[in-house]
Every structure is written in structure tokens, then in C-alpha cells.
Amino acid sequence: MSVDLDQTPRSLLVCDRSSFLNEKNRISSQVEQLHFNYKVSLLLPECSSAPSHLDAVFNSFNSFYLIRNMPIYELLDKHFLKTAVYQGSVYGVSYRTRIDEDNCVALMPNGHLSLSLDKDSFELLGVEGKPSRFNHRTTCRYVVCVDLTDSSMAPGGRGYQRLLTGLRSRLQLKTDFLLSHHPGGGASLQDLLSRYDWSEHRPDVSSHTLTDLSCPALQSCDLQSCDPHSLLEWIGAVDAHISCENSSSSFLSSLVCPEPKTTVSRALSVSVCGLLLPQDVHRLIQQIRYYLEQPRLESWVSLTVHGFVDSPVSWRGNEHGVLRGGENFYSLLIFHDQTYQLHLATGAHDTCPP
Amino acid sequence: MSPADKKDKPADYQRVVLKNASPYHYMKVCLVLEDESTRLSAVDLKQFIISGLKSLYGEVGAALTFDLLKYDEDTLTAFLRVNSRGLVKLWSSLTLLGSYQNQACAFRVLQVSPFLLALTGNSRELQLD
Amino acid sequence: MDEALVQVAIPRDLVDFLRVEPQTNSKAQAFTKAFLRNSTQQQSQLKVQSMLSHKAVILGYSRPKKDKSRRNSKKAKGLNARQKRAMKIFQIKPEHQRYELFLPLHELWRQYITDLCSGLKSTSSPQFIQQKLLKADFHGAIITVVRSKCPSYVGITGILVQEFKHVFKIITKEDKLKVIPKRNSVFAVEINGFVSHIYGSKFEQRASERSAKKFKVRGTIDL
């Protein structure tokens, strides 16, 4: 068989190990830079119900808004810019659009509007853009990125007018759009929402208890204690409710928990889905640190945050694409002594995470 | 396969970048059958996939090991784990599997990732309304 | 030379000046005849002799170059490209680059298209109109760039004032003369509610040459 059959597209895994007490740790910026979070899942070993302060964080995640069939030029509305974009940060991403086949839009908290367009739409729009980094041989996707806070994009300016007429009369781009605002919440978006069919959504919290879970013996001290891939595999298996109790001779599956392993009598797995803000994730991390300060049987907590697969950007506003999975997620393992292990993973159509 | 170490302070901050180092790939596939009432057990499904591998790659192909991690009999959706080197072989044989017990069928590959975690957090599954 | 002038007697004052004896008329005549016979006959005989004996004579004839002379005469009528460029005869003077100056041209063009498409009613089939438009002249049409590989051309609209092989020159409402390459752009032309799209890449001919060109039908066209 030829060599090509053995090759798989590129994937990247960045493993960071540090402590919250180390002033060089970049955990807050790493959390901050992944703007569009889809799912947060938490694994608490030796815990049957979440303590009240963690529960409070889960239930206080910002709600987000779904606008159906919104024309994208509404994001350039003068009033919207004034009340939402210039004040605080707007998180907006197109919904039910697939980045490998449709046009996708994202409005980032720093006021950058990123449009990932196919070739025909780009030629219709008439606004400067760059060919996508992930084009193969022929250019079939372009990325247009504009800074709405820039002086040239101020309402009435030339760049603003060009983009507005482009989106209004030439490329009439309409998508379902997910929006969230920090810190204003729905009040800052009300004006835009009222003009279209919209609905408010609370992040969906679900939790379930696992009993007699075999888990790897995790120590904070060294990264090499467990291979990052098998650790992530195990966390994934727990998250997907896949049993690790297999023998190596089993016909169906030979997935086993990485060695050395122990067994925890019960564990709680909580997951939150929706358009989640990095600020909320950050708040959750602070609460987990507080939770770990109390003495416990197992002294670690694992937190996984998934980004949106079809967002045109991943970390730092870098271009993102879907080749097969479109994964952009990070998994944070926090220990009671304030050390942590952070695994940031991206797929083939992504740049290296920060 | 080149881990690049960037060590600022060995004791305090360590960053390792692993490229293409994942030993396994994970697939989320869904079997679509002509007759929707047909039921398959997990063992049936695995046997069926092995027969596909065998017909495309012969005995050597059938020796490719893969794991059926999870299977939902109602939706015929399965999580597969395969050695990264065998991904293309498994995928191609799934693509070319066209009939199950004399009825037309097709495998829909929903997601492929080098990380099992990615399969649990696919934002394309987000259902609002 | 006049024979009379040869045999004229030398005037008296010249006789004194040159100190020559004028000879009598008959004597002079005889001398001239002898001199001429000597010089001409001998030379021509010699030449023919040497040509026949030493040189190869090509008996074939060279084709008369008729077309060359004709072209020359044609060229002389007009100017060549360099002269045209130097005289700027195809450039519109800045003071004439005004949109309203070209509105009559646009009206004229509308009439022309309406006549060409025999009335241009809303019932006429788009295929028929497109067949006619393909061979029509577009000077005076209001065209809009609807798609382009270069984003800054998109959205420009104006009256087509000049068409060249590779570019359109149009004048916009802001009285700006814009030169737009045909390649990699799609133009829209609107007449009485019919909007036709022109794929510039397939339209790269001079207006005069286009009328004779046969366009191929293709399924899909990319820029």
C-alpha cells in the first residue's frame, strides 16, 4: 500500500503545564482568546452533587440570543454600533451555516467583523479581502475582515458605505445569528433584536453522576505522568459515556483507561451548551480553584471547553476552517496545589493555539 | 511527529507542542439503511465493517484493528477508533460499503477527529428552537 | 539639350574672353556627329558584349508588387497608431468628461437597441434579445460591474463611452472617466427591465470584430 494512505491531515496539540501562582501563566489570555465557546464540560471526581457556588456559576452563564434570518448589514447599523460594539464586547457568530460550504460571519468582541465567503460571494461583495489560508490549489474561499471600531469604518465613512452597500444591495447575506453581549446582556442588543424574529436562550446545563469510574492516577507534578493523548482520550470517553472497562481481547473495543489507574466511587460530570462567553468560563475557573482549596479525596478537576466548529475564527481571531472535524478546544486539568495542565487542540485548518 | 520543547522555567512553566502525534483517529459514523426498521447489534455492525474492509483490501485489510467504542442501536450511530495509519483504509471501505443483506445502505461519516473529545462537543449539533 | 543651342555660333564677347576660334557651321556639325557616334555606339556595344559574355542574365521576371503600392496609398490617407496616440484623438478631453454630455448618446443607444430587438416588449424572449445584444454595439449603454475578481471595480456604474479590445471606458455620474478591464469582471446592462450580464472575459474583442464573431454556448462560465 502506498505511503499516502497512511498519512492523515495535520493536527496540533499544545500541552502547557504551569501554576496559577506563576506570574508567567497565560491561562486567562488563552481562555479570553477563544471567543466562541460552544460547550463547557466539567468532571468532578469524588463528588455526587455540585457545590452551591459552582452551581451558581453554571446558572449564571450569560444568556444568548438567536436572530432568525438577519441580514448581515444590520451589524453595521449606526445605533447598534453605538450601543453595543463601541460599548463592551459583542460576541456574534452565524448559526446553522457550515464554514466548508456556506458563508460564515463572526463579530468578535474587539469589534472585528470577519466574513468567510465563497469565491462567488466575495466577487459580488466588492470589499477587499484575503484568500483563505486553507485553499487547496484553486482559491475558492476568501476572508474579509474589517475593524468596525476603526475610523474608516465609522458610520458615513467611505469604507463603511462601501461595506454597507455591498451587504445591502450586492451580496444580500442573511443568516441565523447568535448574539451575546458583555457586560450589557440583552439590553444592549434590544434595539437590533426587536426588528427581527428572535428568541432568548439560556445555556443548557446538564449533569449526571458516574459511579465506580476507573480513572488515571493524576499527579500534578509532571506532564509525563500520563501521555496527553491517552489522557484526552480518557476524558473524551468519560464525556461521551464510553465504557473503558474492556479487555484487550474484546471483539468490539479494546479501549482501556491509561495506566496507572485508580477507581473513584463516584464522579459528577456537568456540561453547559450554548454560546458561552470567555468571561463566564473564566469565572468558572476561579470558582473551581476555590473549590479545590478545600481538602478532598481526589484533588483534581477537569474542565473542557469546545469552540464553535463553524466559526470563521479560533484563537486570537486567527482563521479557522473545517477539514474533517474543525476541532478547536482546550482541556484544563486543575490540581489542588494551584498547578494546572492545559491541552489546546486544533485540527488541520487552524493555526497554532497561543 | 516532532515535539518541540520550549522551556522557560523547567519547574514552573512548560510548553510542549505535539504535531500529528495522535496515535488514534476517531470517527462518528451513522449507517443509513433502505429499510429503516432493520436492527443491527453492535457485533453485527462491526462484522459488517470488517466484511467491507475485507472486500476492498483483502485479508490484509481485514486484519486492520479498529474499535467500536459506542453504538446506539436506535439511531445506528457509532463511534469508531482506528489507528491513525489505518484511517484512510477504514474510511474508504466505509464509503464503498453499499449494501447490507441485499438492501442498499450508506455510511454517513459525521465527524472525524484525532481527539475523542472533539466528537462530544460538535457545535453542528446545537439545536435551538 | 536643344540641337539649335548646340550648333549656335559662339557670341563675340565670349570669343574674346575664351580666346577660341569659332568654326563654321558645317564643320561644327560634322564634328558633333563624329563625336557622338564615337562615344555612344562604342560604349553600348561594349556593355552588351561584356554582359553577354561574363554575366548570368536572369530571364525570369520579378512579380510586380501591386499590393504594396495600394497599401501605401491607403496608409497615406490615415494615421498610424503612434500618430493617433500622439495626437490623442481617442482621448476625451477633461472638459468633455461630463456625464450629461453623454446622456444623448445613451438615449440614442436605447433607440438603437429597441429598433434592433424589434420593439423590445416585455413579451419578447430573453434568448432572442441576448442573441441580438451579442452582436450589438454597446457605446452609450449604462453598464454596471456586478462581479469582479478585483473588489474595487465592483459597483461602478456609468455610460460606456469607448470600447477597446480589452477595456471599457465608462463615465460615471460623478463625471469621472473610469477604465475597466473586461477580463475577470461581469457587467450588467439594463434596458427596459431586461438585465443582461456580460462576462467580460468572453467579450475581449473590439466592437467591430465582435459582430462577426461566433460565440460558443457553454454550460457554466467562471470569471
Query: Model ipTM?
Result: 0.87
- Distance to chain A for B16, nearest Cα, Å: 5
Of B95, B112, B20, the C-alpha closest to B53 is B95
* Best residue of A123, A162, A167 to probe chain C, by most C CBs closer than 10 Å: A123
Give the pLDDT band (50/70/90) at residue C51.
Answer: low
Question: Any CB–CB contact under 8 A between B72 and chain A?
Answer: no
Question: Locate cell 499590393: which residue?
Answer: C67
Of A44, A13, A35, A63, the C-alpha closest to A205 is A63
Do residue A166 and residue C146 have CB atoms under 8 angstroms apart? no
pLDDT tens readout for residues B97-110 = 888 888 899 999 99
Question: Any CB–CB contact under 8 A between B129 and chain A?
Answer: yes
Question: Any CB–CB contact under 8 A between A197 and chain C?
Answer: no
CATH assignment, B21-114: 3.30.70.3250
Instruction: Please name the chains neighbouring B, where neighbouring means 3+ C-beta pairs under 8 angstroms.
Output: A
Do residue B87 and residue A8 have CB atoms under 8 angstroms apart? yes
What span, in angstroms and rounded, lies between the C-alpha atoms of B26 and A327?
Answer: 12
* Helix count and strand count (H, E) for chain A: 8, 15
Q: Return the number of CB contacts < 8 Å for A and C.
A: 31
Do residue A306 and residue B67 have CB atoms under 8 angstroms apart? no
Assess contact for A329 and A64: CB atoms under 8 A: no
One-letter amino acid identity for C4? A
Do residue C151 and residue A124 have CB atoms under 8 angstroms apart? no
Q: Chain A residues with CB inside 8 Å of B81's CB?
A: 253, 255
Q: What is residue C17's predicted lDDT score, i.e. its pLDDT?
A: 79
Where along chain C do its domains lie?
3-54, 98-210
Q: What is residue B11's predicted lDDT score, i.e. its pLDDT?
A: 54
Q: What is residue B3's predicted lDDT score, i.e. its pLDDT?
A: 43
E strands within C34-150? Answer: 142-148
Q: What is residue C68's predicted lDDT score, i.e. its pLDDT?
A: 54
Closest chain A CA to residue B114: A11
pLDDT tens readout for residues C62-79 = 776 665 555 555 555 678
pLDDT score of C95 more than 50: yes
pLDDT score of B5 more than 70: no
Q: What is residue C69's predicted lDDT score, i.e. its pLDDT?
A: 52
The interface residues of chain B toward chain A in range 2-41, judged by CB-CB distance below 8 A, are 8-9, 12-26
Q: What is residue C188's predicted lDDT score, i.e. its pLDDT?
A: 92
* Best residue of C145, C146, C154 to probe chain A, by most A CBs closer than 10 Å: C154
Q: What is residue A40's predicted lDDT score, i.e. its pLDDT?
A: 92
What span, in angstroms and rounded, lies between the C-alpha atoms of C223 and C218?
Answer: 13
Give the pLDDT band (50/70/90) at residue B1.
Answer: very low
CATH number assigned to the domain with residue range C98-210, chosen from the 4 options 2.160.10.10, 3.40.1050.10, 2.30.30.210, 3.40.50.2300: 2.30.30.210
C-beta pairs of C32-37 under 8 Å, 24+ apart in sequence: C32/C6, C32/C7
Q: Chain A residues with CB inside 8 Å of C148's CB?
A: 123, 126
| A319: DSSP letter | B
pLDDT tens readout for residues C121-161 = 777 787 888 888 888 888 999 999 999 999 999 999 999 98
Q: What is residue C159's predicted lDDT score, i.e. its pLDDT?
A: 92
Minimal Cβ distance to C147: which of A123, A127, A162? A123
Minimal Cβ distance to C148: which of A123, A129, A165? A123
Q: Do chains A and C touch (3 or more CB pairs under 8 A)?
A: yes
pLDDT tens readout for residues B66-85 = 888 889 988 899 999 999 88
Give the pLDDT band (50/70/90) at residue C55.
Answer: low
Do residue B17 and residue A39 have CB atoms under 8 angstroms apart? no
SS3 category, C188: strand
What span, in angstroms and rounded, lies between the C-alpha atoms of B128 and B124?
Answer: 11
Residue A43 has a CB neighbour count (10 Å cut-off) of 23
The model's pTM is: 0.79
In the beta sheet, which residues pair with residue A89? Answer: A182
Closest chain C CA to residue A124: C147
One-letter amino acid identity for C125? S
Instruction: Please name the chains neighbouring C, where neighbouring means 3+ C-beta pairs under 8 angstroms.
Output: A
Do residue A129 and residue C147 have CB atoms under 8 angstroms apart? no
Q: What is residue C71's predicted lDDT score, i.e. its pLDDT?
A: 54
Do residue C146 and residue A127 have CB atoms under 8 angstroms apart? no
Do residue A240 and residue B25 have CB atoms under 8 angstroms apart? no
In angstroms, the Cα distances linking A111 to A28, A81, A133, A185 are 20, 9, 22, 16
pLDDT score of C198 more than 80: yes
Q: Chain B residues with CB inside 8 Å of A18's CB?
A: 12-14
Closest chain B CA to residue A272: B121
Question: Any CB–CB contact under 8 A between A170 and chain C?
Answer: yes
What span, in angstroms and rounded, lies between the C-alpha atoms of A234 and A248?
Answer: 16
What span, in angstroms and rounded, lies between the C-alpha atoms of C135 and A313?
Answer: 48
Residue A269 backbone phi and psi in degrees, to 5: -120, 125
Question: Any CB–CB contact under 8 A between B95 and chain A?
Answer: no
Do residue B68 and residue A25 have CB atoms under 8 angstroms apart? no
What span, in angstroms and rounded, lies between the C-alpha atoms of A139 and A196?
Answer: 35
Question: Locate cell 463625471: which residue?
Answer: C175
Minimal Cβ distance to A24: which of B12, B68, B122? B12
Please, is C207 exposed, middle or buried when counting C-beta atoms within 10 Å of its C-beta (0-12, 13-18, 19+)?
Answer: middle
Do residue B111 and residue A325 have CB atoms under 8 angstroms apart? yes
Which residues are within 8 A (CB) of C205 and not within 5 positions of it... i.e. 6 or more apart? Answer: C165, C213
Work out the percent of chain C whose per-residue pLDDT is above 70: 82
Where along chain B do its domains lie?
21-114
Residues with pLDDT less than 70, chain A: 1-3, 219-225
- Distance to chain B for A73, nearest Cα, Å: 23
Q: pLDDT averaged over chain B?
A: 85
Q: What is residue A163's predicted lDDT score, i.e. its pLDDT?
A: 92
Q: Chain A residues with CB inside 8 Å of B40's CB?
A: none
